[in-house]
Chains A and B, each alone.
Chain A
Amino acid sequence: MLYQAKSFEHLKGLRDFSDQLLQIHLALYRGYVKNTNQLATILLNKVKLWKTGTMEYAELKRRFGWEVNGMRLHELYFENLTKRSVSLKKQSPLYEKLRQDFGQFSTWERGFMGVGGMRGIGWVVLTRDPLTGRLFNVWMDEHDAGFLVGSTPLLVLDVFEHAYLQDFGMSRSAYVQAFMKAINWPVVEERFNASNYIPGPVVEVRRRAS
């Protein structure tokens, strides 16, 4: 099997979130893992059988990004949650970077939560463009839409209805607030620190072309 479902059972008892909602959410996540594996296998078999010219192959191929991202985004989301959340340290490089790119931390926060309030289902991602190092709050309309190519996701917020409906009903802002209080900032900082590199390949390609 290509991918194994990760365990996020430690999130049981997350403040403001019911275990029932978490169970459904995790089951949903496992569905993405299962379907990613299945789809990868089917696609490879079609290549082996010389069936890449078929409609099935084309549309299954189109679907692959949706399943993989559905899996990966959920993993990033669950990973950036914790029962013992503490606020982001003002001395941290991430805090400094947020302040630098958005003016104030609270401005970033307002922007991030504002994207989470957009009508429709999707994801909110704080992501980093490796070419400039710049941070962006990004809205994804679907698992496979709107992600900035090549960027590194730092903080992921699920705003599909399954993420909040059972516990918060239509009070999406209450959900987003609960999420903000459950962020695992050390994980986000780790992702940020790991993304802190000078890009190589793109520059090299450019050099070769000139």
Chain B
Amino acid sequence: MKEYSPKVFDHISQLPGFSEQSVRTHLALYQGYVNNTNLLAEILREWLAAGKSGTIEWAEMKRRFAWEFNGMRLHEYYFENLTATATALDRQSQLYHKIEEDFGPYELWERGFKGTGGMRGIGWVILAYDVQTGRLFNVWLGEHDTGLLVDTRPLLVMDLFEHAFLLDYGLKRKDYEEAFFNVIDWGRVEKRLAACLKDQPIMVGEEVAEIGYRFHN
């Protein structure tokens, strides 16, 4: 049984500032994470059933699971907070107020988020919501499975692995970040914050794909 199905992200096939080739490559890469999450989950279950959970192989595959899973999930959040028809963040919105409350002027938050994206090395930048305090943080993930703040929820996700920008922007990472900011689906980010404030999980793939597994099932 396949637990996870790759979700369809047709809405980003024509994304301003992103070539079709780059998006196609990115989606293929994402599907690899879905496949491998399923594969690894299956292997781990089988090995467990076979009484092999005490082996070094099992242990290291277990360690790897978060990497595959997060590689899948982070890409879903990322693709889903992109849109071909972006509009600026509404200054009257809850999200805008929340950002100003936690970071001071909005521009300061944006500078911080982009600055985190300018860090050397590959990774992810996440605007994360701390469930315990309601506080927002710009967080750097040095890998899929490192750096995420425990008990926080991702509101906005930016991919800074080389595959995300190399084909279209070469080494001009700043240009990629500008392009990213031009295609943020702020409505989506607002919905995620609203879900957090109502203590609901942030769903992925609800509207963009009819098929696919939902994690609350």
- Interface residue ranges, A against B (CB under 8 Å): 24, 27-28, 31, 35, 63, 66-67, 119-121, 141-142, 160-162, 165-166, 169-170
In the complex the two chains form, is A170's CB within 8 Å of B170's CB?
Answer: no
Q: Would A119 and B121 be within 8 Å (CB), given that A165-B162, A165-B163, A170-B29 are in contact?
A: no
Q: Would A119 and B68 be within 8 Å (CB), given that A161-B166, A170-B25 are in contact?
A: yes
Given contacts A24-B171, A161-B166, A166-B167, 19 further A-B contacts (CB under 8 A): A31-B171, A66-B120, A66-B121, A119-B36, A119-B67, A120-B67, A121-B122, A121-B161, A141-B143, A142-B121, A142-B143, A161-B161, A161-B162, A161-B163, A162-B162, A165-B163, A169-B25, A170-B28, A170-B32
| Bound: A169/B170 CA distance, A | 14
* Interface residues of chain A: helix, strand, loop or mixed (majority): helix
**What count of chain B residues pass the 8 Å CB interface test?**
19
Least distance between A111 CB and chain B CB atoms (Å): 16
| Bound: A27/B200 CA distance, A | 46
A-B contact count (CB 8 A): 46
A-B contact pairs, 30 of them (CB 8 A): A24-B166, A24-B170, A27-B171, A31-B120, A31-B171, A35-B120, A63-B120, A67-B120, A119-B32, A119-B36, A119-B68, A120-B67, A120-B143, A121-B122, A121-B161, A121-B162, A141-B143, A142-B142, A160-B162, A161-B122, A161-B161, A161-B162, A161-B163, A161-B166, A162-B166, A165-B25, A165-B163, A165-B166, A165-B167, A170-B29
| Bound: A155/B181 CA distance, A | 41
Least distance between B215 CB and chain A CB atoms (Å): 22
Collect the chain A residues with CB atoms within 8 Å of residue B122's CB: 121, 160-161
Least distance between B21 CB and chain A CB atoms (Å): 9
Cβ-closest chain A residue relative to B163: A161
- Mark contacts of B111-124 with chain A using CB atoms, 8 A cut-off: 1 yes-contact digit, 0 otherwise: 00000000011100
Residues of B107-158 at the interface with A, using a CB-CB cut-off of 8 Å, are 120-122, 142-143
Collect the chain A residues with CB atoms within 8 Å of residue B167's CB: 165-166
Collect the chain B residues with CB atoms within 8 Å of residue A141's CB: 143
Least distance between A193 CB and chain B CB atoms (Å): 34
Cβ-closest chain A residue relative to B144: A120
Cβ-closest chain B residue relative to A141: B143
| Bound: A162/B161 CA distance, A | 10
| Bound: A67/B120 CA distance, A | 9
Collect the chain A residues with CB atoms within 8 Å of residue B68's CB: 119
| Bound: A165/B169 CA distance, A | 13
Least distance between B120 CB and chain A CB atoms (Å): 7
| Bound: A161/B159 CA distance, A | 14
Collect the chain B residues with CB atoms within 8 Å of residue A66's CB: 120-121
